[in-house]
Amino acid sequence: MDAWTEAAAAADRIGVKVVELTGAAELAECSALLQRVWRAEHPAEICSPSMLRTYVHSGNYVAGAYRGAALVGASVGFWGRHGEHTHLHSHLAGVERDGHGHGVGYALKMHQRAWTLARGVDEVHWTYDPLILRNAYFNLQKLGASAAEYLPEFYGAMTDGINAGDLTDRILVVWRLDRPRTQPAAPADAVPLVSRTDDRHPKLCDMSDSRILSVAVPVDAEQLRAVDRDAALAWRVAVRDALMSRLAAGYRIAGMTRDGHYLLERAS
């Protein structure tokens, strides 16, 4: 299916319209939405209207999803280069809290895909918090992006309401827009490196060199961070150590199960 047709279909299915944002008023509305999503005290902590205006003026990507007259989601990206290859770096994407799980994020991504391909570019890169299950599943399974690198403390200390007081580890993903989407590895043979316990803390298992390994994440890392920071930090360190050690040993992140287990596959 043509990329623009697919993008329109994704938006139509959930009753939204995704458009580029260019005017001062809509960019201010976009900035305010992103501030709410990240629970930031000031819009400049995330992206100010003037910065969004600069992105738009210099040919970068700023788009919003509207349900009727209400802005319910937004996405911001800018051009980047990796070696000789140009890509769009999808820096920010946010959906109003009551819009999670209703397809707004997917509609924004389909619009971003069509917009990027229309400019002759076939990759979108972005980072996400490896502990957030819904984002990991969406990125790796629903979109079929590939996990390229684990980046410990990528942003350093942050002050917004979501990230304040936490370590800002991220996974860099690469979304190839012109290739078939990847399939998840079969979890049945996976040997656990990190699993869940009843007391909120991760259970560390013996390191293994089995062909397929699994690394659990919390069911709701954001809620855990709010009620038990010690347990949240234990998960951060456990997942970081497991993923980074296995990636260094030649494994790749093959996917994420719906119930929140990274699947690691040893390279042939």
Number of domains in the chain: 2
Does residue 195 sit in the same domain as residue 261?
yes
Are 195 and 139 members of one domain? no
**pLDDT at site 208:** 81
Instruction: Answer with the one of 176, 208, 237 that is the final residue of a domain.
Output: 176
SS (H, E, C) 195-221: EECCCCCEEECCCCCCCEEEEECCCCH
Cβ–Cβ < 8 Å for 173, 132: no
Helical spans, DSSP H, in the chain: 3-13, 24-37, 49-57, 104-117, 133-137, 221-227, 229-248
pLDDT recorded at residue 181: 64
Within a domain: 240: yes
- Measured torsion, CA atoms of residues 213, 219, 224, 225, in degrees rounded to the nearest 10: 60
**What is the distance between the terminal CA atoms of the chain, rounded to a whole angstrom?**
33
Span 86-102, pLDDT tens digits:
999 999 999 998 766 68
pLDDT at residue 242, as a whole number: 97
Classified as helix, coil or strand, 138 is: helix
- Same structural domain for residues 140 and 57? yes
Output the pTM of the full model: 0.93
Secondary structure class of 249 (helix, strand, coil) = coil
217-234 residue pLDDT tens: 999 999 999 999 999 999
- The pLDDT of residue 199: 84
Residue type, 109: K
The CA R_g of the chain, rounded to the nearest whole Å, is 19
What CA–CA distance (Å, rounded) separates 89 from 123?
Answer: 9
Both 172 and 192 in one domain: the answer is no
Residue 182, domain member (yes or no): no
- What the block records as the tokens of 235 is 């998960």
What are the residue ranges in the chain where pLDDT is below 50? none
Compute the Cα dihedral for 194, 155, 138, 255 and give only its sign: negative
Q: Residue 118's domain spans which residues?
A: 3-176
Domain boundary residue, one of 115, 145, 176: 176
CA angle centred on 113, ends 222 and 266, rounded to 5°: 60
The residue out of 121, 151, 176 marking a domain boundary is 176
SS3 57: helix
**Identity of the residue numbered 227:** V
Q: Which of 247, 252, 248, 221 is nearest to 234 (CA)?
A: 221
Give the residue among 8, 192, 195, 14 at the shortest CA–CA distance from 113. 8
| 251 and 157 in a common domain | no
Residues 171 and 42 in one domain: yes
Which CATH number does the domain housing residue 113 bear?
3.40.630.30
